[in-house]
Amino acid sequence: MARPTPELIYALRQTASNLQNGAPYQWGHMGGCNCGNLAQQLTKLNKDQIHRYAMQRHGDWNEQAEDYCSTSQMPIDLLINELLNVGLLLEDLKHLERLDDRAVLLRFPFEKRHLKHNVREDVVAYMNAWAELLEEQLLNKITLPAIDQFVLAALV
């Protein structure tokens, strides 16, 4: 599962909002699909640029993640590297494209866990649920220093 970062959480929520408000969505287009829309938000590249980069190599996002090379200078690998730098893992790209990460799906009632990977509303729901999960994980990592009894007495 992705490393919970404020930037990634914001990007997931913003991408979901953009899609909900009519942003171009086309599951078969590398720049306009589930990962493509998130990549647009995180990299500020447009869907056509992302698609062009991806088409320099074969395959969908799953195959692009499989073929990723951190030392390659191929544009798609540089783009994927940007996604990894904000907290994503290669596995997250595969799960996002198929809407099938178990931890995210468990946030839905049983009868609503069968999301369709190419349905805009399901993508929006998945991204929002994933953002909530990451936010909870991030907040659970925050620990506040204990308040010294002397300081506490001074505040009263």
Distance (Å, rounded) from C-alpha 94 to C-alpha 96?
6
Helix axes 90-98, 34-43, angle to 10 degrees: 130
CA-closest candidate to residue 57, choices 41, 81, 73, 35:
73
Q: Which residue has the tokens 């999960």?
A: 133
Average pLDDT, the chain: 91
Under the banding of pLDDT at 50, 70 and 90, the label for residue 85 is: very high
Residue 1 included in any domain: no
When comparing pLDDT for 72 and 129, which is higher? Answer: 129
Residue 86 included in any domain: yes
79 contacts 39 by C-beta, under 8 angstroms: yes
Domain of residue 89 covers 6-155
Say which range, 39-43, 89-93, 95-99, 137-141, has the weakest mean pLDDT.
Answer: 137-141
* Total domain count, the chain: 1
Look up residue 132 and give its two tokens: 């909530």
- The confidence score (pLDDT) of residue 153 equals 66
Distance (Å, rounded) from C-alpha 139 to C-alpha 15?
21
The per-residue pLDDT for range 13-59, each reduced to its tens digit, is: 999 999 999 999 999 899 999 999 999 999 999 999 999 999 988 88
pLDDT at 144 over 80: no
Radius of gyration of the chain (CA): 18
- The confidence score (pLDDT) of residue 141 equals 82
